[in-house]
Structure 1
Amino acid sequence: MLRRRIWSDGVARIRCSLSCRIGTAGWSIPAAEQEAFPLEGSHLERYATRFNAVEVNSSFYRPHRRMTYERWAASVGDDFLFSVKLPKTISHARRGEHTEADIERFANEIAGLGGKLGVVLVQFPPSRVFQRCEVETLFASLSSSLPCPLACEPRHASWFAPPAETLLADLHVARVAADPPPADGAEAPGGWPGLRYHRLHGAPRIYYSRYEPHAIDILRDDLENGAHAADVWCIFDNTAMGAATANALELITRL
């Protein structure tokens, strides 16, 4: 469901309800889309007038101070949520290499978001084979430390078989629906059905390509069909040439 709100500048802006969150990876505003946003405010403040979610990818590469997250949380409205990517020092570590201290440090940092923390995204490397014991250990640690749902984006074919699906559902971890899919079955959400998390990386050229209108229509139908049963997130990650912002705006107008 959508609602339309008239902002102080007199422009009607469409916002999604809490059951459907649309945004991009990061909140940069490409030059070609500047007119769709207010002129004043920080990039995040301007971004948040059109979207109700964003994915923080920089946390994957480097830590941010808690006060940085606090500042970001204060820059957005009450209905806005952040998805934060788990540091690769945790998600890409071999068994036993990450410590509880790593997770606790990350949890303390993102606690600065307060109630604006919506999801923690765990992206595994393509070489990460599904191994039940490792998965149980990692997600048990994350669940006990992080006060939000978890979504994972595996990229090895072993994660798309029934044993992995069953375990993720039992652990209340959603599996990302990814495009382009790295393996058969990766194009559809999986794992815990209480969260549907879509990540659109761009196709045919990953990170660069803009999705054509017919692809946005298919995505719209998929989101609407799933919204009755779960919290739905849709993040465009085709940011290299600014296509993510254009696609996200287009999707909102089509819903």
Structure 2
Amino acid sequence: MAVARIGISGWTYAPWRGTFYPKGLPHRAELEYAAERLDSIEINGSFYALQKPASYRRWAEETADDFVFSVKGGRYITHILRLKNAREAVANFCASGVLALGAKLGPMLWQVPPNLAFDPEAVTAFFAMLPRTTTAAAALAAETSLDEDRTFLDPGAERPIRHAMEVRNPSFDVPEFTAIARDAGVAIVVADTAGRFPVIRETTTDFQYVRLHGDEELYTSGYTPEALARWAADIRGWLSDGLDVYAYFDNDAKVRSPVDAMALRALLAG
């Protein structure tokens, strides 16, 4: 049966303290508090810098057995290398500790910048390089240039690894990109960006990945009950088609992400 997981992008935000997080809650307890109210979180610190294996292990330990993390790929890969000649960087990313999440490792997210135009050859080569199982990820991670004390290379039990790409340049909104993603089994993120970036609603694999950045204003506006109802209807449609769904709110500037995520979960449970 297809499953929908609704969560937030990141969990360490000072404005949430005393609003979403109870006043006086220790910072070290914030993940556990959020995970008790949601069933998935998108790790976005990994976008800005490689995280440590000890951090991934701790996050896995602080969440319930059925909790799942999505992990955002590094901006060095997507924004600096721009998907090209990225094998070593992807190996380092895989070696940095993501495998320490074990069964809690969900999709890997690759967000490319608005000024990156669609390059069919580069995208095809990048997708072909991505590991599709934990065993393949460990094999790629073994090529790392990181110091040994910064790596975790144990694949554990072999599990599939899913990948999703969020694009922001209109040149990607063409059938050729959809076909490349479908051939590679990579999900194209359905990104709600208050109309700023393209919305591609194509199903290219066995799951749908949704990022909700703001209904009316990018990164800041919350979602009205009517807007949440529309997204709930979309998610029910994908579920009825047999697709798993991962949906994350990334509209944190006005402390809306966790509130909206819990509201959407309640709608789907009702």
TM-score > 0.5 by shorter chain: yes
How far off its partner does 1:92 sit?
A: 1.7
Asked if structure 2 preserves the Cα contact closer than 8 Å seen for 1:127 and 1:156, the reply is: yes
Among candidates 231, 247, 263, match of residue 250 of structure 1: 263
Match of 1:132 in 2: 120
1:173 aligned to which of 161, 164, 186 = 186
In structure 2, distance between residues paired with 1:187 and 1:221: 17
Q: Could you say if the C-alpha distance between residues 46 and 100 of structure 1 is closer, same or farther in structure 2, counting changes exceeding 3 Å?
A: same
Cα deviation for residue 235 of structure 1 reads 0.3
- Distance in 1 between residues matched to 2:245 and 2:29, nearest whole Å: 27
* Corresponding letter in the other structure for 2:233: D
**Map of 1:20 onto structure 2:** 4
Cα pair distance change 1:230/1:32, threshold 3 Å? same
1:196-219 per-position Cα deviation (integer Å, ceiling 9, x unaligned): 111000132211111111000101
Q: Does 1:89 align with 2:76?
A: yes
CA contact (8 A) 2:215 2:227 kept: no
Distance 1:213 1:31 in 2: 24
| Structure 1 unpaired stretches of 5+ | 1-16
Contact kept in structure 2, 1:166 and 1:191, CA below 8 Å: no
Counterpart check, 1:153 vs 2:166: yes
Cα 1:39–1:18, aligned 2, differ >3 Å: closer, same or farther? farther
- 66-75 or 175-184, larger mean C-alpha shift: 175-184
C-alpha displacement at 1:115, in angstroms?
1.3
TM-score, normalization by structure 2: 0.80
Farther off after superposition, 100-109 or 232-241: 100-109
Equivalent residue number for residue 224 of structure 2: 212
Give yes or no for contact 2:84–2:122 (8 Å, CA) kept in 1.
Answer: no
Q: Is the 8 A contact 2:21 2:33 kept in 1?
A: no
Give how far 1:18 is off: 6.7
Give 1:40 shift.
11
Alignment partner of 1:203 is 2:191: no
- Aligned partners of 2:21 and 2:30 also within 8 Å: no
Deviation at 1:32, TM superposition (A): 2.7
- Cross-structure match for 2:64: 77
On the 8 A contact 2:208/2:246 being kept in 1, the answer is yes
Contact between 2:7 and 2:249, CA under 8 Å: does it hold in 1?
yes
SS at match of 1:64: coil
Higher relative contact order (CA 8 A, sep 6+): 2
Distance of aligned partners of 1:93 and 1:139 in 2 relative to their CA distance in 1, 3 Å threshold: farther
Q: Percent identity?
A: 32
Amino acid at match of 1:208: T
**In the alignment, structure 1 residue 236 sits paired with structure 2 residue 249:** yes
Please state how far the C-alpha of 1:94 moved relative to its aligned partner. Answer: 4.1
Q: CA deviation at 1:93?
A: 3.4
Gaps of 5+ in 2: 138-159
TM-score by length of 1: 0.85
What is the Cα-based RMSD across aligned positions, in Å?
2.3
Where 2:246 maps in the other structure, the secondary structure is strand
CA distance 1:210–1:187, change in 2 (3 Å):
farther
Aligned pair count reads: 235
